[in-house]
């Protein structure tokens, strides 16, 4: 049996890795020159950096066992410190009540609480937008301070036009009460991923995990074909039969696992009904531009990353790679930072030159005061097209028929953030890869579309510690 995996990100590489243990004929097709997808690591100025901040945390035993099997003991537990930059002040995230009170002042904090209680007095109803969902749980005042600006930077649309699914998947059951309780109890007993204050991180960067998976696939007789974009998936009589690469070569396969962007996959399939093509065109992805800057200082600020909520800055998040593990920077006395900018293809910033983007990054980093008088000695940009599936209002009306159509194609499995059009974390994508392999190897009937929606609550729980797995209950 021959199997092709399209895309070498966390979902695709996990699927290929698991399949290759029992089948030698697994081919991975990757359009870029390295594996890892959004979770890859790159070498820059003699140091290792990720494509933005990537922490790994899961409470699913299967995911954690797979991760540890690959990483072994080559990881550390990193104490998370992240803050929100808002109006030239830094607020701890997750919330620390006394820190927030000190920054806001008693009057503003009181107004925020009154705003929250006002929402509690309003009879709760269904919330279809991000704005209404968050406001109902935090109050309008806190929503405007700590959710609105950042979220609109990320998605490029108003929060009133963003589907509540984004909040439900990323914030889940978190509310102001839960955040305050977490702050008072110091994080003890919290079950919200967004509040986790420690995470496992590989010595060689996040991409080390997927490079090791790729090495195992090759060792087991498979192939990892870099710089080999897939032009289209070929089907016959409603069943996959092979793929055609961009150079025109056609190869037969019995199963195809695709993590390429859903919109590209559908647009290049044969015999797609016009209604599906029309729905597919309405699904949008958001791009990311990363501006890496090297600062000639070692100890600038302690955060792993900072969320930038101030509207006067275009950047939405700043990562300090010196605050992860020492193996990333080695003997270097400099600090590499990454500023993230989000945009669509049609936005002017997407076409800016590297020089112009680096100058913008330098200016904005200095405006925050984070580097004080530190000298910025170098800059580099990295562009990622189609990296965030956009949950605009009503997106499910377009996504559902596309899902149904793809599910009707026999032996085609669609996974990953890109492939399934889901805003996955690494653990969600790894789980998709694991379950996709079980569907092929064991004839399992896992509904891969459910992952990142209702797969979080009933599986056996565990967490990774420095000494291995520990029961989560």
Structural contact between residues 257 and 6, judged by C-beta atoms closer than 8 angstroms: yes
Phi and psi at residue 431, to the nearest 5°: -65, -40
Whether the pLDDT of residue 95 is over 80: the answer is no
pLDDT interval class at 168 (50, 70, 90): confident
Which comes out higher in pLDDT, residue 234 or 97? Answer: 234
Half-sphere CA count of 439, side-chain side, radius 13 A: 22
Which of the following CATH numbers is that of domain 3-78+204-271+395-454: 3.50.50.60, 3.40.50.300, 3.30.1370.60, 1.25.40.10? 3.50.50.60
pLDDT interval class at 413 (50, 70, 90): very high
pLDDT digits (tens, 9 = 90+) for 246-270: 999 999 999 999 999 999 999 999 9
Query: Where does CATH 3.50.50.60 sit in the chain?
Result: 3-78+204-271+395-454
Average pLDDT of 31-48?
Answer: 97
Whether the pLDDT of residue 76 is over 50: the answer is yes
Quickly count: other Cβ atoms within 10 Å of residue 464's Cβ: 23
Two tokens at 453? 């929606």
C-alpha dist (Å) from residue 118 to 97, 124, 136: 20, 12, 9
pLDDT digits (tens, 9 = 90+) for 192-242: 555 568 899 999 999 999 999 999 999 999 999 999 999 999 999 999 999
Structural contact between residues 57 and 472, judged by C-beta atoms closer than 8 angstroms: no
CA-closest candidate to residue 378, choices 396, 367, 393, 362: 362
Structural contact between residues 419 and 259, judged by C-beta atoms closer than 8 angstroms: yes
C-alpha dist (Å) from residue 357 to 6, 190, 285: 31, 39, 21
CA angle 148, 100, 169 (to 5 degrees): 40
Residue 123 confidence (pLDDT) = 60
Structural contact between residues 230 and 244, judged by C-beta atoms closer than 8 angstroms: yes
Structural contact between residues 167 and 130, judged by C-beta atoms closer than 8 angstroms: yes
Residue 343: strand, helix, or coil = strand
Burial of 450 (0-12, 13-18, 19+ CB in 10 A): exposed
Give the span between the Cα atoms of 244 and 276, in whole angstroms.
Answer: 22
CA angle 274, 276, 277 (to 5 degrees): 65
Residue 183 confidence (pLDDT) = 54
Two tokens at 261? 């962007």
Residue 324 confidence (pLDDT) = 96
Give the span between the Cα atoms of 308 and 16, in whole angstroms.
Answer: 37
- Give 375's contacts (C-beta < 8 A, 6+ positions apart): 295, 296, 297
Structural contact between residues 133 and 168, judged by C-beta atoms closer than 8 angstroms: yes
Question: What rounded mean pLDDT belongs to the chain?
Answer: 90
Alpha-carbon torsion (405, 407, 408, 411), positive or negative = positive
pLDDT interval class at 24 (50, 70, 90): confident
Two tokens at 399? 């996504």
Give the span between the Cα atoms of 398 and 400, in whole angstroms.
Answer: 6
Query: Between β-strands 255-258 and 3-6, what pairing exists: parallel, antiparallel or unpaired?
Result: parallel
Residue 17: strand, helix, or coil = helix
């Amino acid at each position: 049996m021959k199997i092709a995996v399209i895309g070498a990100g966390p979902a695709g590489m996990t699927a290929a890795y698991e399949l290759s243990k029992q089948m030698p004929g697994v081919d991975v097709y990757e359009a870029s020159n390295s594996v890892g997808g959004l979770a890859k690591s790159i070498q820059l100025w003699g140091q290792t950096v990720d494509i933005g901040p990537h922490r790994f945390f899961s409470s699913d035993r299967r995911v954690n066992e797979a991760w540890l099997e690959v990483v072994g003991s080559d990881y550390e537990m990193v104490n998370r410190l992240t803050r929100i930059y808002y109006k030239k002040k830094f607020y701890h995230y997750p919330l620390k009540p006394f820190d927030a009170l000190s920054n806001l002042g008693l009057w503003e904090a009181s107004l925020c609480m009154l705003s929250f209680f006002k929402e509690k007095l309003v009879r709760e109803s269904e919330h279809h937008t991000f704005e209404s969902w968050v406001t109902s749980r935090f109050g309008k005042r806190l929503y405007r301070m700590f959710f609105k600006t950042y979220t609109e930077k990320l998605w490029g649309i108003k929060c009133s036009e963003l589907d509540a699914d984004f909040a439900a998947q990323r914030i889940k059951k978190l509310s102001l009460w839960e955040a305050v309780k977490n702050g008072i109890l110091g994080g003890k007993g919290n079950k919200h991923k967004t509040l986790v204050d420690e995470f496992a991180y590989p010595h060689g960067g996040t991409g080390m995990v997927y490079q090791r998976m790729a090495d195992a696939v090759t060792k087991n007789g498979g192939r990892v074909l870099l710089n080999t974009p897939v032009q289209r998936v070929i089907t016959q009589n409603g069943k996959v039969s092979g793929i055609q690469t961009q150079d025109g070569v056609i190869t037969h396969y019995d199963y195809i696992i695709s993590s390429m962007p859903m919109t590209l996959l559908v647009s290049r399939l044969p015999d797609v009904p016009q209604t599906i093509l029309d729905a597919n065109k309405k699904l949008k992805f958001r791009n990311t531009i990363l501006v890496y800057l090297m600062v000639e200082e070692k100890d600038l600020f302690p955060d792993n990353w900072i969320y930038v909520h101030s509207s006067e800055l275009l950047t939405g998040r700043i990562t300090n790679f010196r605050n992860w593990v020492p193996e990333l920077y080695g003997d270097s006395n400099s600090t590499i930072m990454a500023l993230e900018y989000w945009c669509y293809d049609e936005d002017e910033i997407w076409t800016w030159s590297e020089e112009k983007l680096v100058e913008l990054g330098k200016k904005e980093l200095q405006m925050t005061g984070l580097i004080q008088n530190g000298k910025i000695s170098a800059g580099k940009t990295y562009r990622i097209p189609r990296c965030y599936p956009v949950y605009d209002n009503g997106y499910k009306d377009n996504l559902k028929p596309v899902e149904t159509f793809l599910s009707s194609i026999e032996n085609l499995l669609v996974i990953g953030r890109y492939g399934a059009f889901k805003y996955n974390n690494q653990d969600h994508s790894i789980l998709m890869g694991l379950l996709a392999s079980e569907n092929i190897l064991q004839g399992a009937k896992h509904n891969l579309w459910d992952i990142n929606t209702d797969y979080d609550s009933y599986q056996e729980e565990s967490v990774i510690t420095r000494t291995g797995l520990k029961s989560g209950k």
